[in-house]
């Protein structure tokens, strides 16, 4: 791997938007699922809290993928060609390290 260029997304959203929206959707979904499966009021509340936590984590991850920077990773292949692969995270990849391209993603060898 020869070079990494950071590509600014130019997109932004308030920092907690994904987590808040995901938490609301998760809480409602957890409560409704428990309600429709015959859960007690206590179980419905527990399901709503668990759904809110899971939804907040998912919403935050989605927001990061859609608004965060990406990386153009320049990889010199064994046959001498250079390919550029764009991905959202580096996953431990650094310049001048040996890497592999697996399913269109650069990973540490």
pLDDT in tens, 28-58: 666 566 666 665 666 666 666 666 777 777 7
- Residue 99: beta bridge partners? 108
Report yes or no on whether pTM surpasses 0.85. Answer: no
Unique residue bearing structure tokens 């020869």? 2
Report how far residue 29's alpha carbon sits from residue 76's, in angstroms, rounded to the nearest whole number.
47
Instruction: Name the H helices within the chain.
Output: 17-36, 41-67
With CA atoms as reference, report the closest residue to 1 among 100, 91, 105: 100
- 48-98: pLDDT as tens digits: 666 677 777 776 666 665 556 788 999 999 999 999 999 888 889 999 899
């Amino acid at each position: 791997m020869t070079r990494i260029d950071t590509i600014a997304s130019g997109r932004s959203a308030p920092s907690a938007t994904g987590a808040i929206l995901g938490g609301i959707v998760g809480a409602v979904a957890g409560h409704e699922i428990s309600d429709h499966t015959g859960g007690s009021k206590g179980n419905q509340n527990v399901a709503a809290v668990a759904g809110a936590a899971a939804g907040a984590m998912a919403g935050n991850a989605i927001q990061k993928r859609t608004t965060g920077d990406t990386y153009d990773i320049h990889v010199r292949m064994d046959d001498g060609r250079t390919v550029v692969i764009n991905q959202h995270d580096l996953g431990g990849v650094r310049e001048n390290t040996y890497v592999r391209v697996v399913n269109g993603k650069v990973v540490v060898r």
